[in-house]
Structure 1
Amino acid sequence: MKKVLVLSAVLASALFAANTDEALLKAAKDAGLRALPATQAEVDALLKEIGVTPNQFTVEKAELGKKLYLEPRLSKSGIISCNTCHNLGLGGTDGVEAAVGHRWTANPHHLNSPTTLNSVLNSTQFWDGRAATLIEQAKGPIQAEPEMATPAELAVARISSLDAYVAEFKRIYKDGVTFDNIADAIASFERTLLTPSKFDEFMGGKLDALSKEEKAGLKTFIDKGCAACHTGVNLGGSMQAFEVAGKYQFANVGDFKGDANGMVKTPTLRNVTKTAPYFHNGAIWTLEEAVKTMGSVQLGIKISDKEAKSIINFLGALDGKIPAISYPEFPASSKKTPKPEL
């Protein structure tokens, strides 16, 4: 009889846990959270759903785009690449408060480099949301004087001076090397930078994918209202109001005030443990401080040490598997290649 009672208690406990987990999964979905797409066709479908026009993806484009993402000759100096500020070995960021570009110039608005990991799934690009697609976004840093400082014509001239690139572009694009095609190839590569995590397994119905502590953190994250802005497939990536309930203590670091309406692109929380420092101006270096600051600035609440720790436990479950990227061998410069300008 005693064994029967023990077995019954175990079964009841397991059933309660399963029901609780299912309720948490439902709450996460109701809050707008969702799993990463598993294929490029699913990426296309999701982008259309959130109002973003996808580019036409091919593996060949992505391979070319990988080279261009890592190609330093796309910068005027010949020493800066997309990977300089969006280092794939550093969570797609650079690990400094404000991006540093051409001639060691810090971003004039003291803006932090957002991650390129999963960035294709943002509904908007740049902190002020001025670009709708990755193609538009890719053109910006290449041409911006404080970043790569390369006019479109120079970028095309550099790539067009390298026969191996010219041949590759001709195979993929009817019109060969153009600035639009350079950006399209880079955007195609960035489409592959998806980082599936155990959170995605949980959202897919694998209820034991998260630990007890991570599930508790997810519940705290939802209950506290964090998912109001950090929602969707990227747990961020859309334009949201900032300083909703209070003043950001480091608002005077840089002069960025958002778009014309004071809206700011909410950063993705995927791989957030790897992308310090935080906020648009990189003024906060720890997740604990970032979580507590969000509570006061955005939600008008005090998040305790215990609650912050719980939420951080969940955030760790968003660390995903970063695609293995092999470093390419670039074609040698030719006599036609425009010289670097330091």
Structure 2
Amino acid sequence: MVEPTPAASSELVKPLPPADFDVARAELGKQLFHDTRLSGDATLSCASCHSLDHGGAEPRVTSIGINGQIGPINSPTVLNARHNFVQFWDGRAADLLEQAAGPVLNPVEMGGDWSVIVPRLQQDADYPAAFAALYPDGITQANTLDAIVEYEKSLVTPSRFDDYLNGDATALSPVEIEGYQTFKSVGCTTCHQGINVGGTQYQRMGVYHDYFADRGNLTDADLGRFNVTGEEQHRHVFKVPTLRNIALTAPYLHDGSQDSLASTVQLMGKYQLDRELTDAQVTSIVAFLHALTGELPASARPAQAMDAGGDNPPAAP
């Protein structure tokens, strides 16, 4: 029997609030987010690893940076990232501003240099006037990052699940509602809760079983938050990821080791919940997870591909 629509206030999972952001700065930030001139060799943009066509993430195990360098970790989605309590898998950025600044200068990611980037942008036909209209000091590093952050704040994707939480009993199918009940009853909401169905806490990867011993081939990225704090208690601890738009963002986990939602759910049941989930439970939960796919605002996409940018990342090798 399908349960009635729950009251949002009684749920560990909460509906998305309306997105609040400065429209003009977000519009400028949209152009910058898709502009490859922010990278050292002008080949990569923020959208190269956070493609709007792939749920704000990318369709590869780990990121490919400047000069074809292979990154150490799977790129998390930028959609709804404003609702994460920290940014990056290891939580090294406290907010979107710190997050936006990191990849631009990272030599393995975009490999940029602000002393080069700012003059590039100043030579653009449209940027000087656009910046001047919004920032008294025009094109600067701080203003560029501020505009990108404002754009990222606009990347909020309400879904049918939010309608359900807000009281619309018809927003989800009976199968999806049953999946949500299964999701809760097996314990997924222990970690995946709040506005982002995740992104509210740190958790060890492998609570009940040693995931890394079973997987093998340990890397520095597997150390998680330990890389930030150096504290033993943080070894293999990661920010719990959002599950919003998860059906669009394969491959899964920080190591990109899982190709499907079904295998990921099964794996998380074992290592995080100490449960051998049945095929029926996995199928049910996966049905629910598809209901978390939201709608990206039409204004979030660039009007057309720009010579200096574009939404699609370079092809994986």
> After TM superposition, is the score higher than 0.5?
yes
* Structure 1 residue 152: Cα displacement: 2.4
* Structure 1 residue 59: Cα displacement: 0.8
State which structure, 1 or 2, has the greater radius of gyration over its C-alpha atoms: 1
SS at match of 2:220: coil
Q: What CA distance in whole angstroms lies between the structure 1 residues aligned with 2:165 and 2:307?
A: 43
Q: What CA distance in whole angstroms lies between the structure 1 residues aligned with 2:9 and 2:248?
A: 25
Cα offsets for 1:88-123 (capped at 9, x unmatched): 11111110001001000001xx20011111111111
- For the 8 Å contact 1:254–1:281, the answer to whether it is kept is no
Q: What CA distance in whole angstroms lies between the structure 2 residues aligned with 1:190 and 1:121?
A: 11
SS at match of 1:106: coil
Cα offsets for 1:277-335 (capped at 9, x unmatched): 00001011111110011111111111111100000011011011122213456588xxx
Match of 1:167 among 123, 126, 129: 129
Opposite residue 252 of structure 1, the aligned amino acid is N
- For the 8 Å contact 1:21–1:207, the answer to whether it is kept is yes
Residues 1:274 and 2:248 are matched in the alignment: yes
* Structure 1 residue 39: Cα displacement: 3.7
Q: Which residue of 2 aligns with 1:303?
A: 277
1:299 to 1:188, Cα distance in 2 relative to 1, 3 A: same
Q: What CA distance in whole angstroms lies between the structure 2 residues aligned with 1:77 and 1:329?
A: 19
Q: What CA distance in whole angstroms lies between the structure 2 residues aligned with 1:331 and 1:222?
A: 47
Cα offsets for 1:41-89 (capped at 9, x unmatched): xxxxxxxxxxxxxxxx311100000000000111111111011111111
Q: What CA distance in whole angstroms lies between the structure 1 residues aligned with 2:114 and 2:258?
A: 35
- For the 8 Å contact 1:111–1:254, the answer to whether it is kept is no
* Structure 1 residue 31: Cα displacement: 4.3
- For the 8 Å contact 2:19–2:153, the answer to whether it is kept is no
Match of 2:27 among 63, 72, 95: 63
Q: What CA distance in whole angstroms lies between the structure 2 residues aligned with 1:117 and 1:239?
A: 18
Return the TM-score normalized by structure 1: 0.82
Match of 2:18 among 38, 63, 86: 38
Return the TM-score normalized by structure 2: 0.88
Match of 1:259 among 225, 229, 234: 225
Opposite residue 165 of structure 1, the aligned amino acid is Y
Match of 1:150 among 97, 109, 112: 112
- For the 8 Å contact 1:67–1:328, the answer to whether it is kept is no
Q: Which residue of 1 aligns with 2:314?
A: none
* Structure 1 residue 195: Cα displacement: 1.1
Q: What CA distance in whole angstroms lies between the structure 2 residues aligned with 1:115 and 1:130?
A: 16
Count residues with an aligned counterpart.
Answer: 294
Residues 1:95 and 2:59 are matched in the alignment: yes
- For the 8 Å contact 1:253–1:281, the answer to whether it is kept is no
Opposite residue 174 of structure 1, the aligned amino acid is P
Q: What CA distance in whole angstroms lies between the structure 1 residues aligned with 2:183 and 2:306?
A: 45
Match of 1:317 among 263, 270, 291: 291
Q: What CA distance in whole angstroms lies between the structure 2 residues aligned with 1:244 and 1:205?
A: 34
* Structure 1 residue 194: Cα displacement: 1.1
Match of 1:244 among 196, 207, 231: 207
Match of 1:85 among 30, 49, 52: 49
Q: Which residue of 2 aligns with 1:135?
A: 97
Q: Structure 1 stretches of 5 or more lacking a match?
A: 1-15, 41-56, 333-342
Opposite residue 74 of structure 1, the aligned amino acid is L
RMSD of aligned Cα (Å): 1.8
Higher relative contact order (CA 8 A, sep 6+): 2
Q: What CA distance in whole angstroms lies between the structure 2 residues aligned with 1:199 and 1:149?
A: 39
